[in-house]
Amino acid sequence: MTGIRIREDVCTRCGECVAACPFGAIEITGGTGATSGLPRVNDSCTLCGACTDSCPVGAIEIARDSGAGPAPDHKDVWVFAEQRGGRIAGVVFELLGEGRKLADSLGQRLGAALLGSGVRGLAPELIAHGADVVYVADDPCLDRFRDEPYALVLEGMVNKYSPNIILFGATSTGRSLAPRLAGKLRTGLTADCTGLEIDTETGLLRQTRPAFGGNIMATILCRKARPQMATVRPRVMKRAGADPGRAGEVIPFAVDSGRMRIRTDVLEFVEEVTDTVSIEDADIIVSGGRGLGEARNFSLIQDLARAMKAAVGASRAAVDSGWIAYSHQVGQTGKTVCPKIYIAVGISGAVQHLAGMQGSEVIIAINKDPEAPIFKVATLGIVGDLFEVVPALTKELRKASGAD
Amino acid sequence: MKVIVCIKQVPDTTEVKINPETGTLMREGVPAIINPFDQYALEEGILTRERHGGTVTAISMGPPQAREALRDAVAMGVDDAVLLCDQRFAGADTLATAYTLARAIERLGGADLIICGKQAIDGDTAQVGPGVAEELDIPHISYVKKVVSIGDGRIKVERMVEGGVEVIESSMPVLITVMKDINQPRLPTLKGIMRAKRTEIKVWGLEDIGAEEGRVGLTGSPTEVIRVFTPELRKRGQVIEVPTEEAVAAVVRKLRELRAV
Ligand SMILES: Cc1cc2nc3c(=O)[nH]c(=O)nc-3n(C[C@H](O)[C@H](O)[C@H](O)COP(=O)(O)OP(=O)(O)OC[C@H]3O[C@@H](n4cnc5c(N)ncnc54)[C@H](O)[C@@H]3O)c2cc1C
Ligand SMILES: Nc1ncnc2c1ncn2[C@@H]1O[C@H](COP(=O)(O)O)[C@@H](O)[C@H]1O
């Protein structure tokens, strides 16, 4: 196995590394302790480094190139200013808020890359939310998002202005475009980050993200290649506030659409109509799970939500059972939400569900099983039968709002 | 019609448990499976062959045991399977993985349609598909929930985006990444399982695919995982087991405190 070495003279055969390896890549034969063999690293190893951290005696070494600091000719933090139909995506304001912090701690500028057709007018809004410079590529070929022209134009911008960091929202657009651009630039890209910070010693971007269905977190660096690129999970970072008086620079970027090869076409966009508040924008969410037992009982959730003017969420079990549409699913394979209040009803709190709602400010859980893992994260947990508690609560809340 | 499907063998994350004492992942007895999204990719590949003729080849980069995933793919119905396996491929991030898969696809003579899963459930990056397309210099369409039509060297699909569905047309060759809505993967038949037992899974290394050593594995990976840790759970709050009226009163009190009532 390349890259990893276990020093025989130092290793005590304690077995910590075997337990720590997320990939089951380390084996010890003959039990642990002095008489056993040296741990052996098999092909499943991804050189993630979990074992080096776990080793109490520092016997595991992973050979890496010594970390060069940020290349001096790459400066500034950029945000991809995703827009759809002339409206800036919500996540962009979160990226600007986070990007501002990163740029300030590096002493660099915050830039925004704005691509589209007839979008020049959006630049002041980006400046108001913290951008120092907005690079604008305004061309009919950029009207609707398409990976090829967007990636080509961004590549041109990056080659001209050499940013140090670029952040994208981890939306369907960002997660499609960013890997294409990273491929062109041959640089690293960290997916779906939930934490970003500048390493004070090296000035490198420390990118933290969940993996293994939220079971583990990983911190990732991109030492040598530039720019350092990341997609950032929506609704995790704090939105930037607006200051309409802020000054900034707008730099147009010329697009040579004639020279571009574009092989895809968006023929049509069919909007999905939802009648209720979308769960991503809601301040309060009432979510139901398998504990509701059957489809018609899901109305208990809808009634409670209506009484609180809340959005309706669901666990995957409820969605898979066909009680409610997929667009309401909260969790790893559904949506990440961080409302002010999340009420979980009849949801056990599997790690994949927690992955999507742990960021909520207050969690109220109603479950009859006192051992349900949801109680580990709940601000207020009610151990009880939802069929009694929920109707009574709905009634109480209706009374309260009627009295207002 | 020539179709190539990229599949990855992953640990079944539903079976992954955290050791409450050490806070580490317990991998013992966790089965290795074909990445669930890749099952849909395989099914779409096989459906395409059934509708338009041609062949479907499954490829995977991984350790020797990933051969089992490819065998399962043959049992489902793909014609051919190739494992990209080489010590020098180890430690690859998405850029190096995409490069390696792209070189193998070229070695196979390219394809009209390349299908990847939306994302792998271990890394959850969703980056390899678009990366392969970029490396091959072909277009890609991600988050495909339906293939509407294929014909005259063009493909029409529906793609899921925030707030709706896009209908997209592209020239072929093209790479698509697929969601679970796209089809219902078939189970292997007994005949398929027998065939899988007999089929030789080709194994290719660095030289076989003509890859540059500097662009594969750890060396070819700009990103580096420097720390892996278990997420901190939120602090446990107050959990009460009281009669219904009291429970309701407690919730209402909390909601008032938060000005939600
Ligand atoms: C790769 C992957 C991705 C996933 N993504 C997601 C995701 O995005 N979102 C998601 O939610 N899940 C996801 N899951 C599934 C997840 O692991 C769980 O299966 C799911 O969240 C369970 O839903 P649940 O809590 O509603 O059901 P259960 O786990 O069955 O829990 C039902 C709960 O209701 C309680 N209950 C029953 N009757 C009553 C009653 N009368 N009163 C009060 N309480 C009652 C029970 O005590 C129990 O705790 C994913 C899984 C995998 C493998
Ligand atoms: N090692 C691999 N071998 C073959 N295909 C892969 C590999 N890694 C990723 N893929 C493909 O790329 C998709 C996205 O994976 P990821 O970018 O890792 O989330 C998967 O669903 C597979 O189709």
User: Residue B75's domain is classified under what CATH number?
Assistant: 3.40.50.620
Quote the DSSP letter at residue A59: -
Total domains in the fold of chain B: 1
Token duo for residue B84: 């990209």
Confidence of residue B80 (pLDDT cuts 50, 70, 90): very high
User: Tokens 């080849």 appear where?
Assistant: B57
Of the listed ligands, the closest to the CA of B10 is 2
In this model, does residue B187 exceed pLDDT 90?
yes
Cβ-nearest to B225 among A21, A49, A269: A49
Within-domain flag for B90 = yes
User: Tokens 């304001």 appear where?
Assistant: A93
Q: Give the separation between CA A87 and CA A104, rounded to whole angstroms.
A: 27
Confidence of residue A1 (pLDDT cuts 50, 70, 90): very low
pLDDT of amino acid A316? 95
The DSSP bridge pattern shows strands A249-252 and A4-6 to be unpaired
Within-domain flag for B17 = yes
In this model, does residue B22 exceed pLDDT 60?
no
Q: Name the closest-CA residue to atom 12, ligand 2.
A: B128
Q: Name the closest-CA residue to atom 18, ligand 2.
A: B120
Short-list B104, B256, B231, B184, CA closest to A399: B256
Q: Are A53 and B228 inside 8 Å of each other by CB?
A: yes
Within-domain flag for B204 = yes
Quote the minimal CA–CA distance from B191 to chain A in Å.
31
Quote the DSSP letter at residue B213: G
pLDDT in tens, B212-258: 999 999 999 999 998 888 776 667 789 999 999 999 999 999 999 88
Q: Give the separation between CA A212 and CA A220, rounded to whole angstroms.
A: 15
Confidence of residue A181 (pLDDT cuts 50, 70, 90): very high
Cβ-nearest to A382 among B138, B218, B247: B247
**If you measure from the C-alpha of residue A92 to the centroid of ligand 2, how many angstroms do you get, rounded to a whole number?**
28
Of the listed ligands, the closest to the CA of A279 is 1
Q: What is the mean pLDDT of residues A58-64?
A: 81
| C-alpha dist (Å) from residue A26 to A44, A198, A223 | 9, 32, 27
Within-domain flag for B44 = yes
CA angle A36-A37-A40, nearest 5°? 135
In this model, does residue A155 exceed pLDDT 60?
yes
Q: Give the separation between CA A9 and CA A14, rounded to whole angstroms.
A: 13
Please report, rounded to a whole number, the percentage of residues in chain A having pLDDT higher than 90.
66
What 3-state class would DSSP assign to B238?
A: strand
- A259, amino acid identity: R
Tell me the chain B residues in contact with residue A175 when contact means C-beta distances shorter than 8 Å: 126-127, 142
Tell me the chain A residues in contact with residue B247 when contact means C-beta distances shorter than 8 Å: 366, 382, 384, 389
Give chain A's length: 404
In this model, does residue B181 exceed pLDDT 90?
no
Confidence of residue B47 (pLDDT cuts 50, 70, 90): very high
- Could you count the other beta carbons within 10 Å of the beta carbon of residue A260? 14
Q: Where is average pLDDT lowest: A50-59, A372-381, B66-75, B113-122?
A: A50-59
Within-domain flag for B206 = yes
pLDDT of amino acid A61? 86
Please report, rounded to a whole number, the percentage of residues in chain B having pLDDT higher than 70.
92
Q: What is the mean pLDDT of residues B131-141?
A: 98
Q: What is the mean pLDDT of residues A283-311?
A: 95
Run of H or E residues at A104: helix A90-106
- Quick check: B32 contacting A, CB < 8 Å? no
Q: Where are the beta strands (DSSP E) in A52-187?
A: 60-62, 77-80, 83-84, 87-88, 110-116, 133-138, 165-169
What radius of gyration, in Å, describes the C-alpha atoms of chain B? 22
Question: What pTM was computed for the model?
Answer: 0.79
Please indicate whether residue A352, judged by its CB atom, sits closer than 6 Å to ligand 1: yes
**If you measure from the C-alpha of residue B237 to the centroid of ligand 1, how many angstroms do you get, rounded to a whole number?**
20
Within-domain flag for B149 = yes
Within-domain flag for B233 = no
Short-list B197, B182, B160, B172, CA closest to B39: B182
Confidence of residue A153 (pLDDT cuts 50, 70, 90): very high
Domains in chain A, start-ordered, CATH in brackets?
Answer: 3-63 (3.30.70.20), 77-258 (3.40.50.620), 284-401 (3.40.50.1220)
- Quick check: B226 contacting A, CB < 8 Å? yes
Q: Are A332 and A352 in contact (CB under 8 A)?
A: yes
**Domain span holding position B88:** 2-215
Q: Name the closest-CA residue to atom 22, ligand 1.
A: A317
> Which comes out higher in pLDDT, residue A15 or A246?
A246
Q: Is ipTM strictly over 0.95? A: no
Cβ-nearest to B18 among A45, A215, A284: A215
Q: Where is average pLDDT lowest: A295-304, A326-335, B90-99?
A: A326-335
pLDDT in tens, A110-143: 999 999 999 999 999 999 999 999 999 999 999 9
pLDDT in tens, A279-291: 877 889 999 999 9
B 61-80 residues with CB < 8 A to A: 63-65
Token duo for residue A219: 């911190």
Q: Give the separation between CA B47 and CA A20, rounded to whole angstroms.
A: 42
Confidence of residue B19 (pLDDT cuts 50, 70, 90): low
Within-domain flag for B114 = yes
B 138-177 residues with CB < 8 A to A: 138-143, 156, 159-171, 174
Peptide bond into A72 cis (omega under 30): no
